[in-house]
Amino acid sequence: MTIPENKISFNEIERKISQIMNAEGRKMLREVLEAWDKELMESRDKEVYRHKGKQKTTVKTIMGEVEYSRVVYEIWGNGVKVGHGYLLDEAMGISCSGQLSDLLCAQIIEMSCKGSYRDASRTVSEMTGQTISHTTSWSVVQSAGKEIDGHEQRLAELASEARGSGDIETKVLFEEQDGISLYLQGKSRAEHGERKDMKLAIAYDGARKSGKNRYTLTNKVACANFEGIEDFVSRKEGVIAGAYNIDEVELRFLNGDGANWIRRNLMDDTIHYQLDTFHRNKWITEKVSDEAVRKTIMQALYSNDPELLLHVIEVEAISTDDEMQRENYMKLQCELSTQRASKL
């Protein structure tokens, strides 16, 4: 085999093949769309949709920009013209921002979650061979956010009326909630300050083994928002009721870091709060400076005897001559007692 003097890199080969495949894909998609438009034209109600010629348009896709022609119609009702429209546009069901395919929007959103809008735009533009501006990426994300927000608000309304649509049945439901402080930019910073707390929640009915030492949560649902406690609890309940048949749930275990807003979720006796393992151990590490004492407390913790655990902490508090350490012991004891030590 003869190797040319001017070697071509693998990246260049991959790029050229991708360009060829994308070009063929755009051609095929144009043919499919125009054939689809023809079928809609032939099967339409001619009294309602009156053919007024064809117009060209462009849709941005994961393969690049696709230009195609489709019929524009006058729309009539009760003998009166009510407007113009395109049957193909309606049938395509593009719900994203502008003339972008949903797959392309999903790609933009995914990239935007990993970096800035500019980085997302540059990456998607390079991958699809078309120009996606950072303002387009911003618009796509905002549009998706509004759609999700509206959907979750509708779910919350249904849940408040005990009309949740979930059909997953489980006797036990697991929940986790946390808050994260995010830095704000632009108008948001001027309105809310440098940082704002976002609330997050997930719910699932179990876990399955997905690797040697890995597990995947089953039937997981999630939501996040900056809103107040009452509104967020309502949203979270709506999302859960949109996936699960709440009437079949007998026990709900809620894990959190001890924040007061999380404990506001204890709405009835079926919900049992547990301080999550990470924050529980973090509390002990922060409050107990002596490694030997910390080991003793951890042993008491894992004995599954909450009274013993609290007794050990109290004994250490009485025994130490360090006033600051004694205060930390008492704070730890109070915190663990408040967080239902019996469920640690």
- How many domains, in total, are found in the chain? 3
Q: What is the pLDDT of residue 244?
A: 97
5-9, 23-27, 144-148, 254-258, range with the lowest pLDDT: 5-9
Q: Is the pLDDT of residue 240 over 90?
A: yes
Question: Which residues constitute the domain of residue 175?
Answer: 166-275
CA distances, 225 to each of 84, 96, 208 (Å): 39, 21, 28
The answer to whether residue 149 sits within a structural domain is no
pLDDT tens-digit readout, 210-238: 888 899 999 999 999 999 999 999 999 99
Instruction: Over range 24-33, report the average pLDDT.
Output: 96
The answer to whether residue 112 sits within a structural domain is yes
Q: Tell me, yes or no, whether 30 and 54 share the same domain.
A: yes
Q: What is the pLDDT of residue 4?
A: 57
Q: CA angle, 322 as apex, 316 and 323 as ends, to 5°?
A: 100
Q: Tell me, yes or no, whether 237 and 312 share the same domain.
A: no
The answer to whether residue 155 sits within a structural domain is no
Q: Tell me, yes or no, whether 200 and 215 share the same domain.
A: yes
Q: Among the three residues 275, 292, 324, which one is the final residue of a domain in this structure?
A: 275
Kindly indicate the confidence band of residue 339, based on its pLDDT and cuts at 50, 70 and 90.
low
pLDDT tens-digit readout, 29-44: 999 999 999 999 999 9
pLDDT tens-digit readout, 64-121: 999 999 999 999 998 899 999 999 988 988 766 568 999 999 999 999 988 889 999 9
Q: What is the pLDDT of residue 5?
A: 58
Q: Tell me, yes or no, whether 41 and 128 share the same domain.
A: yes
Q: Among the three residues 275, 296, 325, which one is the final residue of a domain in this structure?
A: 275
Question: How far, in Å, CA of 39 to CA of 85, rounded?
Answer: 16
Q: Is the pLDDT of residue 2 over 60?
A: no
Q: Tell me, yes or no, whether 19 and 111 share the same domain.
A: yes
The answer to whether residue 110 sits within a structural domain is yes
Q: Tell me, yes or no, whether 250 and 284 share the same domain.
A: no
Q: Tell me, yes or no, whether 335 and 256 share the same domain.
A: no
Question: How far, in Å, CA of 31 to CA of 238, rounded?
Answer: 42
Q: Tell me, yes or no, whether 244 and 224 share the same domain.
A: yes
Q: What is the pLDDT of residue 13?
A: 87
Q: What is the pLDDT of residue 95?
A: 67
- State which amino acid sits at residue 339: Q
- State which amino acid sits at residue 260: N
Q: Tell me, yes or no, whether 21 and 78 share the same domain.
A: yes
Q: Tell me, yes or no, whether 189 and 115 share the same domain.
A: no
Q: Tell me, yes or no, whether 102 and 183 share the same domain.
A: no
Which candidate, 32, 33, 31, 51, places its Cα nearest to that of 41? 51
Judge whether 201 and 184 are in contact, CB under 8 Å.
no
Instruction: Over range 50-75, report the average pLDDT.
Output: 94
Instruction: Over range 125-139, report the average pLDDT.
Output: 91
The answer to whether residue 327 sits within a structural domain is yes
User: pLDDT > 70: what percent of the chain?
Assistant: 95
Q: Is the pLDDT of residue 177 over 90?
A: yes
Q: Considering the entire predicted model, what is its pTM?
A: 0.74
> Mean pLDDT, the chain, as a whole number?
88
Q: Among the three residues 255, 275, 295, which one is the final residue of a domain in this structure?
A: 275
